[in-house]
Amino acid sequence: MRKIAAASLVLAPLALAVSTGIDPALGEEQGYGIYRQFPGATQWHSLLLHWAWVLCVPGFLGLLTLVRRRGAVLAGIAWVATMYGLVTFSALMSADFGLLSLEQQAGLTDAQLAAYDDRIGAMTWAVWGWQIPGIAGWAIALLVTPLAAARARIINWWTAGLAVAGTVLYLLFAISPVPLCLAGPVVLLAAYAMTARQMLRFSPSPDAPDVFGAFRRQAGRICLVAAPLSFAVGMATVPLAQASAFFLHLAWVLFIPAVLTVASSGGRFTRVAAVLAVFGLINFSALMFGDYLDLAARQALGDTVADRAAELTGGYATFSLGWVLPGMILTFLGLILVAVGAAVDGLVRWWAPVIVVAGFAGFFLLGLGPIGVVGPLVLVVGFGLMALATSVEKAEPVSV
């Protein structure tokens, strides 16, 4: 599994470089209408940019998994920033698809598009639940993760410094014309290629107390219960669209450390299932931001425009095949397979995965409204059994 993390560390800056190079909005021209002129480039830029941050998550988590006592504090900060901030930040890339679907509608003026953007900026849940933690967590994850790895002696300080330099260059020149905009991604590619090589060669000391691992596993056990509870809150607050979207997003995010904790006590099947679930959860959680985009369009531009925007967005193959389907299929399939794997590994009895399947069946069959909380509450029982099982198991950390 460490190889998956190493590959992700290389593929992430590679996707970032390609995405940055084809961005149609590079340079000083940042007004409305650019996306309308270059719809293909806009879609691929946004999709690849989203996947660049998605791939950073398993890469960073796998790197941090190797931390024991030395560097544990920095690793804890980077872990939280990656787990919540970086995952949330990847969701914000969907805003480009939302704006493109509006710009492609004839008759909409720049003033109307600006009103739509202002409407999103006025949503408290979108700003404090997504934008601020997403941007802050993204920056912290990119800056602190290599420092934590260097402090733990997984990589050398030259490599960590190169990674930090690449991040700074990207922050400074991300929207500058080619080739200046590529300086950050290229340096990051070199830095994380070196990081991948060094982490594959690293062997943790068997005598070092696993301080960070203990923190990570305890957080994961909490998330095994907190994730389905947040899912239930999200379903219960469906009439409050902004709050519901946040709690549903939070649920899928919390499931990431939850399944990794189960995988750390399981065998190969469970670990593979956890990897699939992680990729699905990152993509699926991001889709919840679309609720804010749809609500803003309805409030600022009317239902007819919003309906047409939803139709256009659903018709983008880059979005539906590269984002929506992986998110939906891998999330539910991965979570169920992790539960099955836990039973196969003897961590829980077979009724635990049966309960999990029943919970998801309830979610799909009962629909929205107050009754919609039944399925998630059933999931609390299923995943709660796994939390109890991992609390008594001697878990070995898993590199994603």
Domain boundaries, the chain: 2-392
267-288 per-position pLDDT tens digit: 999 999 999 999 999 999 989 9
- Does residue 179 have a cis bond before it (omega within 30 degrees)? yes
Confidence (pLDDT) at 393: 46
Question: How many beta carbons lie within 10 A of that of residue 222, not counting itself?
Answer: 15
Contact status, residue 107 vs residue 184, Cβ threshold 8 Å: no
pTM: 0.92
The predicted structure's pLDDT at residue 367: 73
Q: d(Cα 120, Cα 1) in Å, to the nearest integer? A: 39
| pLDDT at 206 (0 to 100) | 76
Task: Please give the pLDDT value at position 205.
Answer: 79
Longest dimension (CA), the chain: 68
CA 361 to chain centre: 24
Apex CA 98: angle with CA 59 and CA 229, to 5°?
A: 55
User: Given this model, what pLDDT does residue 83 score?
Assistant: 94
Q: How far is the CA of 85 from the CAs of 90, 130, 285, 359, in angstroms? A: 9, 8, 12, 28
**What pLDDT, on a 0 to 100 scale, did the predictor assign at position 239?**
83
| Amino acid 399: pLDDT | 44
Pick out the chain residues at pLDDT < 50: 393-400
**What was the pLDDT predicted at 207?**
75
The three-class DSSP label of residue 280 is helix
Q: Let me know: does 329 contact 280? Beta carbons within 8 Å.
A: yes
- The predicted structure's pLDDT at residue 62: 94
Q: Which of 84, 90, 82 is nearest to 149 (CA)?
A: 82
pLDDT value of position 106:
73
In this predicted structure, what is the pLDDT of residue 392?
65
Task: Please give the Cα distance from 172 to 95 (Å, whole number).
Answer: 21
Q: What are phi and psi of 189, to 5 degrees?
A: -60, -45
Cβ 35 vs Cβ 103: under 8 Å = yes
pLDDT of residue 369: 66
**Secondary structure element (H or E) that encloses residue 362, with its range:** helix 351-366
pLDDT, tens digit, for every residue of 158-174?
999 999 999 999 999 98
